[in-house]
Structure 1
Amino acid sequence: MEEISERTVTLRRESEGVYIATNSAGAELRFGHNSGGFGSVELLLAAILGCSSTDADAMTSRRVEPEHFEVTAVADKVSGGADGAILRDIRLSFDLRFPDGDDGDKARARVGAALKTAHDKTCTVSRTVEHGAKVTFIDANDYDG
């Protein structure tokens, strides 16, 4: 049975090219091309990394804490094409290392299943990108509702 729960993030402008995103819990994230931090495309990649890494972390760290847990996203940004500016060929590279021994062996053995689960079922962010969710732009000042 399909369950639907809404997620909301609000953005406000701090200055040209600097924005503050606020979630329903009140957490804030400052970003933008003039922020000195992450730009929007980098945030999308970070969201894919975070979402995709959750299963790998949960399914392996039950056995043992990783000695090294680093995941890198690389994408080709395409501009000027018929589709407008888009990312293509998003690639995630998981570099996970666990201690020697039985628990480390068990953790290593779970990585493949964790990545498959994230890709096929649980990573909302990458699955949404792959499946192409509809995005609607509404000018709230003109909306009749």
Structure 2
Amino acid sequence: MSENTRALREVTVERTESRQYRATSLASGASIEFGQGEGLLSPVELLLAAIAGCSSIDVDVATTRKSEPEKFEVSASGYKLTEDGASRMEDIHLGFDLKFPDTEEGRKAAGMVERIVKLSHDKYCTVSRTVELGAKVTSEVKN
């Protein structure tokens, strides 16, 4: 029998100046700056980074048990679509560009990549699974 768990994750977003914001994890205190303007990731780019980052961690944790990569880059892309004035992303694609040493351990790590990428997509990556399955989003205005 499978066990279901539910754990709250929470961030706050604070305006730091015009069109610039800081998201902070309430659990760890880690933060990231984002917004509109030069040198800042946009919210859509943060979404792509979250999807790529989630799967990157899954692949990294599994493969580095065998070998450290010589190259580890993951790209995320997608199309922003506006229909009847409403925007959304579609056709999101991840590209994994990894290289491991030409050693027995490196070849073992390289041989795991496709399977781990698939497992991340199908089971482990909370971010891409949430995007694909959908999640209810509610808003409230506090006074």
Fold match by TM threshold 0.5: yes
**Equivalent of residue 40 in structure 1, options 43, 55, 61:** 43
Matched residue SS, 1:66: coil
CA RMSD across the alignment: 1.2
Percent identical among aligned pairs is 48
Check conservation: 1:17, 1:35, Cα contact below 8 A: no
Indicate the residue corresponding to 1:115 in structure 2. 117
Is 1:131 equivalent to 2:96 in the alignment? Answer: no
**Runs of 5+ consecutive residues of structure 2 not aligned to the other structure:** none
Indicate the residue corresponding to 2:17 in structure 1. 15
**Equivalent of residue 68 in structure 1, options 68, 71, 74:** 71
Aligned-residue offset at 1:36: 2.6
Looking at structure 2, the residues matched to 129 and 56 of structure 1 have their Cα atoms a distance apart, in angstroms, of 19
Aligned-residue offset at 1:51: 0.2
Looking at structure 2, the residues matched to 18 and 35 of structure 1 have their Cα atoms a distance apart, in angstroms, of 10
Give CA-to-partner distance per residue, 1:86-117, whole Å, 9 cap, x none. Answer: 00000000001111121111011111111111
**Runs of 5+ consecutive residues of structure 1 not aligned to the other structure:** none
Matched residue SS, 1:36: coil
Give CA-to-partner distance per residue, 1:24-73, whole Å, 9 cap, x none. Answer: 12122111013631110001111111101111111111111101000000
| Paired residue total | 140
Cα distance 1:134–1:86, how it changes in 2: closer, same or farther (>3 A)?
same
Q: Which amino acid aligns with 1:3?
A: T
